[in-house]
Amino acid sequence: MEEETPFGLGYSMPAEWEEHEGTWLSWPKNHESFPEELLPEVEEAYLSMIVALASHERVDLLVDDARTEERVSKRLSARGVAGNIRLHRIRTADVWFRDYGPIFVKRGEGRVAFVHWGFNAWGGKYDDLKEDVHIPEKLPLQGLPSFKGPMVLEGGSIEVNGSGTLLTTEQCLLNRNRNPHLTKSDIERNLREYLGAAKVIWLKDGIAGDDTDGHIDDIARFVSKDVVVCALESEKDDENYAALKANFELLKGSTGSDGKRLKVVPLPMPSPVICKGQRLPASYTNFYIANGTVLVPIFRDPMDKEAMQVLKGLFPTRKVIGINCRELVYGFGAIHCVTQQQPKRQG
């Protein structure tokens, strides 16, 4: 007998702006992702994120051991953060919780469950990081129903509006290094049955430097049910120009699951962020929508101010906070990549 799916039981993935129980993160330490000389700035970005989040919702932070727990606790106390934070001694290979952590789903206004998807370290690129596939089963989520997702899926590869519409890219979800045995129709069926996606909008390619094969959270994000921000490059000679323009035009011609045309708001791109001759996937769309706040990656770039102004106009009821991510993006990700929201339970 086949397992009943989350959608069959009334669950679907809520939008990120819906109320959170809390946010999950994992403390940075992998020197392959963050060389020792960059780690202080990466940790500083984390502390800034946690301080901003903890004033509005619980923060669940994974740390490798007691020594790290003590050190992080002292640093948070020095920042005046005492409550609303839970530290869990759960060892991880790296920080990209969005991609290997659970994806939470919700039934109406009440019960919350989670889906544990397959994770193969972005198409088998990093063998030493594959162990993080086991993190969802190690978390203290007792009492929440769980489901086993029937394919490899990273959280950063999908974006939902909480009303049945899901964005993704062909470059990632149709990549043969993820689910070579599945067709496009198979993938759409899984997204419907496990996340409640009545309609999937397929964009094309991601941005240069993205080792995830085109994650959507570096390209386009819902900010409300019918409004999407989309990264757009203004420099015609930039390698991102054509791909981002194609995605922008595709979105402008798209409708949500309700048949209503989407409103698409352009978001600028920062100047290329280069480290050791390699372009990094710096994008302002890698923001995170939390209770009362929106955390936006900034890169000590002239375009930071413009991107912040666009997002402030789209989130008038939330405090929009810039977090320096120039060093964090050295690991090929930013704020959205390291966070995962847990929806609020009612009753």
Long-range pairs for 312-316 at CB < 8 Å and ≥24 separation? 314/223, 314/224, 314/227, 314/229, 314/265, 315/223, 315/289
For 185-235, give the secondary structure using H, E and C.
HHHHHHHHHHHCCCEEEEECCCCCCCCCCCCHHHCEEEEECCEEEEEECCC
> Are residues 116 and 144 in contact, defined by beta-carbon separation less than 8 angstroms?
no
> Are residues 87 and 59 in contact, defined by beta-carbon separation less than 8 angstroms?
no
CA proximity to 331, closest of 183, 239, 236, 209 = 209
Burial group, residue 128, by CB count within 10 angstroms (0-12, 13-18, 19+): exposed
Q: Strand order of the sheet with strand 165-169?
A: 159-160, 165-169, 199-203
Q: Active site residue: 172, 230, 325, 337, which one?
A: 337
Residues 6+ apart with CB under 8 A from 1: none
Q: Is 275 a catalytic residue?
A: no
Beta bridge mates, 322: 296
What percentage of the chain's residues is helix, strand, coil (to nearest 5)? 30, 25, 45
CA 220, CA 215: separation in Å to the nearest integer?
9
Phi–psi pair at 201, nearest 5 degrees = -100, 120
- Return the H-helix or E-strand segment holding 31: none
Amino acid at 237: D
CA 339, CA 332: separation in Å to the nearest integer?
14
Vertex 251: Cα angle to 248 and 254 (nearest 5) = 160
Which residues carry out catalysis?
337
